[in-house]
Amino acid sequence: MLLHDTALIYGRYLRQSLRSRFALLFGVLMPLLYLLFFGPLLTDLPLGDEGSSWQVLVPGLLLQLGLFGASFAGFSIIIEKGQGVVERMRVTPVSRLALLLGRVLRDATVFVFQAVLLVLAALVMGLRVPLPGVLIGFAFVALLTVSLASLSYALAMKVRTPQEFGPAINAMTMPMMLLSGLMLPMTLGPTWLDVLSHFVPFRYLVDAVRDAYIGSYATAHMLYGVLVALAFTALAVTVGTRVFRTAGA
């Protein structure tokens, strides 16, 4: 039943995304601008021990896409709450977990699609990367999207007014972006900043994808990245399901 319901909810929201093709393409605009106007600044800088600066920048942009995109996923459910769609579905026997999973899997699909566009653009700009590395990068984007979108939906179900939601999300995503070394590797900074950034879960995902982009797959970074991503996803989906199960007000 869970599979049936998840597929049903996934289909409904995927069709919703396909109806707004404009939004589908627009989501990739911010990382694309970074690629175009920020990437060239780094071309000649020695950012990593191995590989070109593109192999450092593009993994960061991929996760930035997931971070900003998925964190705001909850906005759509705030609108649907107002329309009464959420309650109408919760009166049916549909699985509560499916109401969440169908939505977050749709988000993962959308952001992996946007990640593909971003990588294609980066290849044109001069990125060179092994194929397994690219695929690993997409897998991390998918996990990140599933976890952040789950938390975003959970928060959106809880906030009383839509006006609270945007600032709350911004307050969480900005420090996470700055402290995870999405833009530039944290190892370039002073020690205190590097140490601080190890308390931000994304740091491990970014390091892992950067390793994947230079073709080193069996590293400590990769291990920590996979563990943190999986643990974070499990935690986020658990929190999200709990909120969907009990959501009252």
Partner 1 sequence: MPIISTAGLARTFQTKLGPVQAVRGIDLAVREGEILGFLGPNGAGKTTTLRMLTTLLAPTGGAATVAGCDLATDPAGVRRACGYVAQSGGVDPQITVREELVTQGRLYRLTKTQATERAEELARDLGLTDLLDRKAGALSGGQRRRLDIAMALTHRPKVLFLDEPTTGLDPGSRADLWDLIRRLRDEHGTTVFLTTHYLDEADALSDRLVIVDKGVVVAEGTPSALKLQYGGSIDASLQDTFLAITGRSATQADAAPVAV
Residues that bind partner 1 (CB under 8 A): 1, 4-5, 8, 12, 15-16, 19, 80, 82-85, 87-94, 246, 248-249
CB 10 → partner 1: shortest distance, Å? Answer: 12
CB 56 → partner 1: shortest distance, Å? Answer: 41
Q: How far apart are CA 172 and CA 169, in angstroms?
A: 5
CB 108 → partner 1: shortest distance, Å? Answer: 21
| Residue 27 DSSP SS3 | coil
Question: Tokens 């291990």, residue?
Answer: 223
Assigned token pair, 205: 């995902």
CB atoms closer than 10 angstroms to residue 142: 21
Cβ pair 17, 23 in contact under 8 A:
yes
Closer to partner 1 at the Cβ: 80 or 211? 80
Q: Which residues lie closer than 8 Å to 210 by C-beta, 6 or more apart? A: 48, 55, 56, 59, 60, 185, 221
Helix axes 220-246, 96-125, angle to 10 degrees: 140
H or E element at residue 202: helix 202-213
CB 106 → partner 1: shortest distance, Å? Answer: 14
Closer to partner 1 at the Cβ: 83 or 191? 83
Closer to partner 1 at the Cβ: 91 or 124? 91
Closer to partner 1 at the Cβ: 83 or 161? 83
Q: How far apart are CA 139 and CA 236, in angstroms?
A: 17
CB 8 → partner 1: shortest distance, Å? Answer: 5
Closer to partner 1 at the Cβ: 46 or 93? 93
